[in-house]
């Protein structure tokens, strides 16, 4: 490029040692051709790399790789355009101090504002790249949870069970809790009185567990009786847990609750209601 520019400098020099308009025009054209070429080349390189990746990593779906390559291409394109514009301005000896003053103040202001934009993109990239969650997963991000509806470069959208749509800028995503990676736990707590025969209660619960296991195909493991998980001031808390397919834990819990309630009613096992010991003192009203 330098060689070519030197030749142009010599051909179109004015007597003041500056370049005349024709020379400048030619230079600009050359710059833009170069920029375009560089964009093409980098696009080709990215495509080749992504193709190789696709063959190697079957697990990551094609769409995700396409998203990543599109982002990359865009970033490279804008950087190269930006370099081109500055080189052209350089040719025209544009009063750069005024430009820099403008850019400085503006850049500073925008820098602060764009800061979270950059963080959005970087976090978005890592979510995709590390496969933290995918569309359809049920995740919890901060105080918000729901089914992932969109994983974008700037925002992630969660559809809450209540139907609400949470639009979360990626820079607000910190710790992610993914509830669709592996089996989930269904947990039911039931408290019986201190007077109740524990061994009989456990036998009844075991029978319920066996029934649920047989009838419900969403259960991966269990249900089993964990044991006495608390001694409250009015009863004994028994806990039953099971491993279920993801997103099915709530349904399994509801079924367990229904069956336990009915078995207890049938078997006359007393549920523990809050208790009070009352000391009566008569007073003259």
Of residues 149 through 168, those in contact with its own copies by CB under 8 A are 154-155, 159-168
Beta carbons within 8 Å of 67's beta carbon, 6+ residues apart: 128, 153
Enter the tokens of residue 221.
Answer: 């493991």
Cβ 159 to its own copies, closest distance in Å? 7
**Residue 6 vs 66, nearer CB to its own copies:** 6
Cβ 66 to its own copies, closest distance in Å? 20
Q: Should residue 248 be labelled a site residue for its own copies when binding is judged by CB under 8 A? A: no
Total residues at interface with its own copies (CB under 8 A): 116
Site for its own copies in 251-280 (CB under 8 A): 251, 254-255, 257-258, 260-262, 264-265, 271-280
**Residue 44 vs 101, nearer CB to its own copies:** 101
Q: What angle do CA 128, 130, 134 make, to 5 degrees?
A: 50
One of 11, 37, 114, 135 touching its own copies (CB under 8 A): 114
Site for its own copies in 73-102 (CB under 8 A): 79, 82-83, 86-87, 90, 92-95, 97-99, 101-102
Residue 85's φ and ψ, nearest 5 degrees, are -60, -45
- From residue 177 to residue 196, the character string flagging contacts with its own copies as x (rule: CB under 8 A) and all else as - is xxx-xxxxx-xxxxx--xx-
Helix or strand or coil: residue 63? Answer: helix
Helix or strand or coil: residue 80? Answer: helix
Residue that has been written with the tokens 């964990």 in this structure: 226
Cβ 93 to its own copies, closest distance in Å? 5
CA distance 35 to 55: 31
Cβ 63 to its own copies, closest distance in Å? 20
**Residue 57 vs 62, nearer CB to its own copies:** 57
Enter the tokens of residue 83.
Answer: 């370099």
Alpha-carbon torsion angle 140, 144, 146, 151, nearest 10: -80
Cβ 163 to its own copies, closest distance in Å? 4
One of 33, 41, 44, 105 touching its own copies (CB under 8 A): 105
Cβ 273 to its own copies, closest distance in Å? 4
Enter the tokens of residue 100.
Answer: 């820099």
What residues form DSSP beta bridges with 219? 244
CA distance 51 to 155: 27
Cβ 191 to its own copies, closest distance in Å? 7
Query: What is the arrangement of strands in the sheet containing 184-192, beginning at the earlier edge strand?
Result: 184-192, 236-244, 219-231
């Amino acid at each position: 490029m330098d060689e070519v520019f030197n030749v142009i400098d010599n051909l179109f020099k004015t007597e003041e040692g500056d370049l005349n308009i024709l020379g400048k025009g030619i230079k600009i054209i050359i710059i833009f051709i170069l920029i375009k070429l560089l964009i093409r080349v980098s696009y080709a390189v990215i495509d080749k790399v992504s193709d190789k990746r696709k063959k190697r990593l079957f697990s990551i779906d094609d769409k995700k790789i396409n998203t990543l390559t599109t982002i990359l291409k865009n970033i490279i394109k804008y950087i190269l355009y930006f370099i081109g514009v500055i080189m052209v301005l350089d040719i025209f000896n544009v009063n750069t101090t005024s430009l820099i003053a403008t850019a400085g103040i503006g850049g500073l202001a925008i820098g602060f504002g764009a800061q979270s934009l950059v963080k959005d993109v970087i976090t978005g990239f890592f979510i995709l790249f590390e496969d933290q969650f995918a569309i359809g997963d049920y995740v919890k991000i901060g105080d918000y949870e729901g089914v992932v509806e969109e994983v974008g470069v700037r925002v992630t959208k969660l559809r809450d069970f209540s139907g609400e749509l949470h639009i979360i800028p990626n820079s607000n995503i910190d710790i992610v809790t993914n509830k669709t990676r592996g089996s989930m736990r269904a947990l039911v707590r039931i408290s019986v009185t201190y007077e109740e025969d524990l061994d009989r209660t456990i036998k009844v619960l075991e029978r319920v567990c066996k029934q649920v296991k047989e009838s419900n195909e969403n259960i991966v493991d269990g249900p089993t009786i964990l044991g006495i998980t608390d001694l409250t001031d009015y009863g004994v808390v028994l806990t039953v847990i099971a491993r279920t397919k993801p997103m099915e834990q709530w349904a399994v819990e509801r079924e367990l609750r229904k069956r336990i309630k009915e078995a207890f009613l049938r078997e006359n096992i007393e549920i523990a209601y809050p208790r009070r010991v009352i000391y009566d003192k008569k007073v003259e009203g």
